Amino acid sequence: MNNFISYACGVAPQWFYVTLLLIFCVVAIWIFSVKNVIRIKLRRLLGVMYVEYLLLLLCSTIIFRDHATCYLGVKFMPFWNYTYFTMDVLMEWLVNIFMFVPVGFCSSVFLKHPVATKIILLSMALSCTIELSQYLLEKGFCETNDVINNTLGGMIGYLIYKAPFLSNSFAAVRASIPAPFPYPFPEVGQGSKIHFSNHGVTALAN
């Protein structure tokens, strides 16, 4: 397990993880100090975690990568290394799959209408961006297999979100978030005036 963690997250320096942790703690304290529904607070906290995770993902795959310590090149043929079943290859598969599970899950939470097609396209677009950046900046090996594994990880996150015991909870979270204007507007004809009161909004004809 320690080898897996170091393989997945051992690229960024230690100060970067400490900074992310401090930012998360400060924002979490601020979120829970504001008077609001607990479900809304948890949703905002998840949003902070998602942003920090995306930043960590980009830093570990592109920003803090040293081209001198990684393989360089490009391989567009899919499944080219699936016949080489070694521990290093297996570790690479697992890392590329599991590091996109939070992407699929959190994207499903924050998308207005999460469907499998959107999650697949979002995961694929993010993965292609990372692979293309690695190739152009000489930060890693650009290959189609990583895009396939990343997209699979995003779909696993989406399926976790769609689990009955979770989807009902997030549906309740969405329902508990107040609309920008709590009262529905009545139909207003031309020349009518709108009257605001504590009981709602009414239209007054001229």
In tens, the pLDDT along 163-206 reads: 865 656 666 655 555 554 444 444 445 555 545 454 544 444 44
Cβ(43)–Cβ(178) under 8 Å?
no
Cβ(123)–Cβ(155) under 8 Å?
yes
Rounded average pLDDT over 4-25: 70
Q: What is the pLDDT of residues 37-49, one digit of tens each?
A: 777 888 888 889 9
Q: Using the predicted structure, report yes or no on whether residue 145 has a pLDDT greater than 50.
A: yes
pTM of the model: 0.70
pLDDT of residue 116: 92
pLDDT of residue 124: 95
Q: Using the predicted structure, report yes or no on whether residue 20 has a pLDDT greater than 70.
A: yes
In whole angstroms, give the CA distance from residue 48 to residue 21.
11
Cβ(150)–Cβ(97) under 8 Å?
yes
pLDDT of residue 89: 77
Rounded average pLDDT over 33-39: 76
pLDDT of residue 103: 94
Helices within the chain (DSSP H only): 2-9, 14-33, 38-58, 87-98, 101-110, 116-136, 144-161, 164-176
Give the DSSP H/E element, type plus range, for residue 179.
Answer: none
In whole angstroms, give the CA distance from residue 128 to residue 151.
10
Q: Which residues contact 45 (CB under 8 A, 6 or more apart)?
A: 27, 28, 31, 32
State the pairing for strand pair 73-75/193-197. unpaired
pLDDT of residue 117: 94
pLDDT of residue 188: 47
Q: Using the predicted structure, report yes or no on whether residue 123 has a pLDDT greater than 90.
A: yes
pLDDT of residue 191: 52
State the pairing for strand pair 193-197/200-204. antiparallel
Rounded average pLDDT over 53-70: 80
